[in-house]
Structure 1
Amino acid sequence: MRQNISPDQYRQLFLNDTPLMDVRAPVEFAKGAFPAATNLPLLDDRQRELIGTRYKHAGQEAAIELGWELATDEVRQQRISAWREFTEQHPEGCLYCFRGGLRSRTTQQLMRQAGIDYPLVEGGYKALRNFLLGALDEGCERLPLVVIAGHTGSGKTELIQRATRAIDLEGIARHRGSSFGRTGRPQPAQIDFENRIAVDMIKLEQASGRVFVEDESRLIGRCALPPNLQQAMQAAPRVVVEEPVEARARRIVRDYVNEALPRFEDGECSPAEALGESLRDSLSRLQKRLGGLRHRQLDEQLQAANAELARNGSADAYIPVVMALLTEYYDGMYDYLMAKRESAVLFRGSLDEVGEWVQQQSGN
């Protein structure tokens, strides 16, 4: 019989990406879980609500009694079938509930009755979450962070993705970090975002060397940087990418238009039309900061670029619009924020020069 997972084994769970069977209700899982977790609940949301109400009014024994009443033969077989499939696919995994208590033990009991031996995590989700919060604190203090800075469109994300040791915050958040930054994928819950960062930090601590992160504001879409990470990034030394405005605009058009088109293929209208409306919606979010007149002018240019894309597939007409947004809005905002930073600049140069420098620093 495999032993249950004790607190001193938590780190290895995350280092090994151990498959985790989360038996909490779906509503709990949606609020936050772990990168390697799969939700196979003991109770569905309605059952959890009913049992919680019974517990509140009549106590634990009455709640347990109701739980067994709700666990009909059909329900048990459905649960056990799903659990068996998971354990056969992931024999090295383990299960957890919120505190490692009644639901974990009940699940483990039902599985053992069905001939399945599977360990539970002592302390459950709550203890694992607290462990990761501690790991996040430690990582922010101990990891030698270096921030890759530079104006919008400089290629910072490309450098992060190429770096040997890096935390891809935008990749974890599934958002590019600007008003136009939606990727077509749903963003993770805030807790999921924090947990993934913490797991990445745990893995990065297994070796020495600088860890690169992209310069970000407090919010990446709806995901907020943990305050301790934001403070660590503000104090960390920087490497600055300096690229001409037209090169930055062309890179943005490549990323936000050419490479974005395929994700709009399943809509009711054409991909070009759907993408165009999405871009106009993103531009509308800047209306107050641009001013009504300038917003209308840029929106007209954007509509003309959308029409050009739909007509002949060319995205070149977007370049002047993007250049205007960079010079009139994004660059000034970024320069203002950078002027408030007091951290050292280790290196500055073009995208290629910074890329070479980053590669040289990997492992140092």
Structure 2
Amino acid sequence: MPPLPRYTQQPWTETYSEIIDVRSSSEFAEDHIPGAINLPVLDDEERAQVGTIYKQVCPFTARKIGAALVSKNISQHLTQHFAEKQKDYHPLLYCWRGGQRSNSMALVLTQIGWRVTLLEGGYKTYRAYVRNQLEHLSEKFTYQILCGLTGSGKTHILHQMRQYGAQVLDLEALANHRGSLLGEEWEGKPSPQPSQKYFESLLLQQLQSFNPAETVWLESESNKIGQVYLPPSLWEKMKQASCVEIHLPITQRVQFLLQEYPHLTTHPDILKAKLEKLKSRYGKEKLSEWYQLIDAGKWEFFVQDMLQFHYDPTYSKSMKRDFTKVERSLSIPDLSNTSLDTLLDSLLPNQVTANL
């Protein structure tokens, strides 16, 4: 007799061949367990269709139509995704509440003979776990904040620190945004940020990989990165942390930013549209000056003026408000390998020595 599916409310304590989210693609896109794949038993259109019939016609008719659609979709997954799975295949399945959608697929897979685990309570169980963990896990770490004016290469320095074994929490990478007006990530076209919920899922995954006995390095972000917010518990710990401030000459900052943001010089119309958001703060005349520099291709002058007029004052204001515990200030002439080696030797003497 084939085994029955087993249930768990703590799937993170076990290892599975695969984690399968059987919800629709839009539900999956908003948030899911990191590493899960999406095999919908009802797609968005089918789900809407069944829901409409359930409300406007009758529940029984909706269940019949829904069952036919679910059977069709599971059959397709069996002939495609599951076709090459071996006998020892052991998936974890979940849907929204751990109800009919995941149970439907689990029933078929267990009849085949695979060992299937269902997440009891579905995605809602997982989401409650994420909220609880973020509230408490964030407080277990000691944080060190890397500060510096825009263009000081903070993210670049953190990536170098990670190569030497430091624990680095790259919030901008998780948020897919560089944390400023012009910080939207691009890959030929603007790349969307994760939803707030999926950002929190990714953040939790990263925190769970860290050792609480070691320092976690991160840069001086705002509590809002693009359109996503940091959990309050993490934000409070960041504001209480000690800071190391990096100083880089403005000419080097300008060159670094032009290298890091090539898409802005190749899409001047989009750049101007973004700058429109600053009109109420700086006025039409200042905006016109920036537009003239853009039209003339005077990128060094434009970037330097943006730094001195907008970014540097904004940074100084945020530092006085949020990051007051600057315990060290380090100056470097540029972001060359030689300068970075000297800087890292000061920031991470034990790790750098161990890697020599």
Q: Could you state the TM-score of these two structures normalised by the residue count of structure 2? A: 0.83
Query: Given the alignment of the two structures, is residue 203 of structure 1 paired with residue 220 of structure 2, yes or no?
Result: no
Q: What is the CA-CA distance between 1:77 and the residue it aligns to?
A: 2.2
Cα pair 1:87 1:118 within 8 Å, conserved: no
Give me the whole-angstrom Cα distance separating, in 2, the residues matched to 1:82 and 1:186.
30
Q: Is 2:246 the partner of 1:244?
A: no
Residue-by-residue CA offset, 1:169-206 (whole Å, 9 max, x unaligned): 1111111111111222221111111110011111114x
Contact 1:209 1:362 in 2 (8 A): no
1:358 maps onto 2:347 in alignment: yes
Structure 2 distance, partners of 1:304, 1:118, is: 63
Question: CA, structure 1 residues 326+149, in 2 after alignment: closer, same or farther (shift >3 Å)?
Answer: same
Whether 1:10 aligns to 2:2 is no
Change (3 A) 1:326 1:12: farther
Cα offset, 1:83, TM superposition: 4.1
Alignment check: 8 A CA contact 1:100 1:121 kept = yes
Contact kept? 1:167, 1:211, Cα under 8 Å: yes
Secondary structure of 2:20's aligned partner: strand
Indicate if the aligned counterparts of 2:181 and 2:274 stay in contact, CA closer than 8 A: yes
| Aligned match for 2:224, one of 211, 219, 225 | 219
Q: 1:139 to 1:71 in 2, by over 3 A?
A: closer
Instruction: Give the counterpart letter for 2:281 in structure 1.
Output: R
Change (3 A) 1:346 1:86: farther
- 1:253 corresponds in structure 2 to 258
Corresponding residue number in structure 2 for 1:43: 42
CA displacement 1:117-168 (0-9 Å, x = unmatched):
4322233211112112222112221111112111111111112222321111
Structure 2 matches for 1:294-313, cutoff 5 A?
294-305=286-297
Paired with 1:121 and 1:7, the residues of 2 have a C-alpha distance of: 6
Residue in structure 2 matched with residue 187 of structure 1 by the alignment: 193
Counterpart-to-counterpart distance in 2, 1:183 and 1:244? 25
Structure 2 residues not aligned, in runs of 5+: 333-339
Do 1:147 and 1:238's aligned partners in 2 also have CA atoms closer than 8 Å?
Answer: yes
2:155 aligned residue (154, 157, 162): 157
2:335 corresponds to: none
1: CA distance between counterparts of 2:4 and 2:108?
16
CA RMSD of aligned residues (A): 2.9
Q: Deviations over 1:194-252 (max 9, x none)?
A: 110011111114x5200011111132222222222222211222111111211111110
- Report how far residue 10 of structure 1 moved: 1.8
* Percent of pairs with identical residues: 29
Q: Give the equivalent residue in structure 1 for 2:337.
A: none
Local SS of the residue matching 1:128: helix
Q: Distance in 2 between matches of 1:3 and 1:359?
A: 50
Distance between the aligned counterparts of 2:235 and 2:217, measured in 1?
Answer: 14
**C-alpha separation in 2, matches of 1:86 and 1:226:** 41
The TM-score with structure 1 as length reference comes to 0.81
Q: d(CA) in 1 for partners of 2:45 and 2:196? A: 24
Aligned residues: 333
